[in-house]
């Protein structure tokens, strides 16, 4: 990515965010819209290249780190049971509905199961941004959404791994399921030991180094390295970023660390992440698929909202908070895009189907902050 490209992305991101705010829409909708205008859906000025994707991935990690550091660990523990129920209901409902819907359309078991896995995923990044914007991260709904979304990500990773193993596709299909799960568990245990026993001491020592930004640079390096290693073993880098942020939320200098990451993230990397979502959308030759796109979008919104809402109500959460939880879990965002990218790379789907799926994912991603903003304003 050239310097000019970065300048254009940031200018468009902040310009469209300002316009969105002026008309009463969440700023993230404006930033995604900027990507659509710049990309294949608009003027074809930019495409989602590997270099832009790398910057966007850093933005995602910082966003999830901030979601973790702004969370209340005790509140998350208190709402753990509700989060588990919401996560399971929010995964089972779309999984069953999309599997049956695929069969009704005459799709193969492999294709119908791919839809079921993909639309069972949840993206918490946009919801986390909006919860932070409205100071709701530490509310009952906010804590439940964050906890449930992390569990949803774990379930999505597990389902994709099983899918690869069953249909023997990609490199993951050659690795036994038990071995992949073992790698994940070992990684989590080692990660927890290192973070809980040693990271705090090392950060304290780094903080004494008389160099501007030394602590920020070190924590950022730990964040990126941990996420990369997590992806290598088949785990989610976004979940690791959230857990790392949750660890720092318990530290005495949490506010200082949070402020530093907000400055770096919100200025550069997080806008690139949202713009990159828009860059992935292509409308070429999709008008004929408009009825299918609308049906998939309605099902994607309805199943996740209903499943999460029902799980919240089952857990005795009040109606309004349950509505917020339902809306907050709708977005498929980066997790579904990752699954679609993987499916495309192993030729489970073609580029035409990939474009269709990204449009549906984008529509759920745009719907979430709009619906959530209305509910949070009530």
- 321-359 per-position pLDDT tens digit: 999 999 999 988 767 887 887 788 778 888 788 888 888
Which pLDDT belongs to residue 267? 93
54 CA to centre of own chain: 15
Q: How far is residue 107's CA from residue 258's CA, in Å, rounded to a whole number?
A: 47
Bigger pLDDT: 293 vs 136:
293
Residue 284 has pLDDT above 70, yes or no: yes
Residue 177 has pLDDT above 80, yes or no: no
Q: How far is residue 283's CA from residue 358's CA, in Å, rounded to a whole number?
A: 10
Which pLDDT belongs to residue 291? 92
Which pLDDT belongs to residue 175? 65
Q: Which domains does the chain have, with CATH numbers?
A: 3-377 (1.20.1530.20)
Q: Mean pLDDT, to the nearest integer, of 34-55?
A: 92
Which pLDDT belongs to residue 118? 92
Which of 179-188, 193-202, 204-213 is the most confident on average? 193-202
pLDDT tens digits, 202-226: 988 888 888 888 899 999 999 999 9
Q: pLDDT confidence of 58, banded at 50, 70, 90?
A: very high
pLDDT tens digits, 68-101: 888 777 777 888 899 999 999 999 999 999 999 9
Which pLDDT belongs to residue 302? 96
pLDDT tens digits, 131-176: 877 778 778 888 899 888 888 877 887 888 788 777 776 555 566 7
Least confident of 39-43, 90-94, 255-259, 330-334: 330-334
Residue 235 has pLDDT above 60, yes or no: yes
Q: How far is residue 67's CA from residue 243's CA, in Å, rounded to a whole number?
A: 9
Which pLDDT belongs to residue 172? 53
Which pLDDT belongs to residue 170? 58
Q: Mean pLDDT, to the nearest integer, of 275-296?
A: 87
The rounded percent of the chain whose pLDDT value lies above 70 is 97
Structure-block tokens of residue 175: 């690795």
């Amino acid at each position: 990515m050239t310097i000019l490209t970065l300048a254009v992305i940031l200018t468009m991101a902040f310009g469209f965010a300002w316009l969105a705010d002026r008309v009463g829409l969440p700023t993230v909708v404006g930033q995604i819209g900027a990507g659509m205008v710049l990309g294949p859906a608009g003027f074809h000025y930019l495409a989602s290249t590997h270099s832009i994707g790398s910057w966007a991935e850093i933005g995602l990690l910082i966003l999830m780190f901030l979601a973790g550091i702004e969370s209340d660990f005790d509140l998350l523990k208190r709402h753990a049971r509700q989060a588990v129920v919401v996560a399971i209901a929010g995964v089972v409902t779309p999984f069953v509905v999309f599997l049956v819907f695929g069969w009704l359309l005459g799709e193969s078991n492999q294709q119908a199961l791919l839809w079921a896995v993909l639309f069972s995923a949840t993206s918490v990044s946009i919801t986390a941004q909006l919860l932070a914007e409205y100071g709701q991260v530490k509310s009952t709904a906010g804590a439940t959404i964050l906890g449930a979304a992390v569990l949803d990500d774990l379930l999505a990773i597990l389902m994709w791994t099983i899918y690869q193993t069953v249909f023997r596709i990609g490199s993951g299909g050659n690795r036994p399921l038990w071995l992949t799960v073992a790698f994940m568990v070992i990684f989590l245990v080692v990660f927890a030991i290192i973070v809980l026993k040693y990271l705090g001491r090392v950060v304290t020592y780094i903080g004494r180094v008389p160099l501007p930004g030394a602590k920020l640079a070190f924590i950022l390096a730990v964040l990126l390295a941990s996420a990369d290693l997590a992806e290598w073993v088949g785990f989610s880098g976004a979940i690791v970023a959230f857990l790392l942020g949750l660890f720092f939320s318990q530290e005495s200098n949490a506010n200082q660390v949070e402020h530093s990451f907000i400055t770096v993230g919100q200025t550069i990397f997080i806008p690139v992440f949202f713009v990159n979502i828009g860059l992935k959308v292509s409308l070429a030759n999709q008008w004929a698929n408009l009825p299918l796109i609308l049906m998939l979008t309605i099902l994607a919104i309805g199943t996740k909202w209903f499943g999460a809402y029902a799980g919240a109500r089952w857990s005795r959460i009040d109606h309004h908070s349950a509505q917020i939880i339902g809306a907050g879990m709708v977005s498929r965002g980066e997790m579904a895009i990752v699954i679609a990218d993987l499916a495309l790379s192993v030729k489970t789907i073609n580029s035409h189907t990939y474009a269709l799926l990204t449009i549906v994912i984008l529509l759920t991603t745009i719907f979430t902050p709009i619906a959530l903003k209305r509910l949070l304003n009530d």
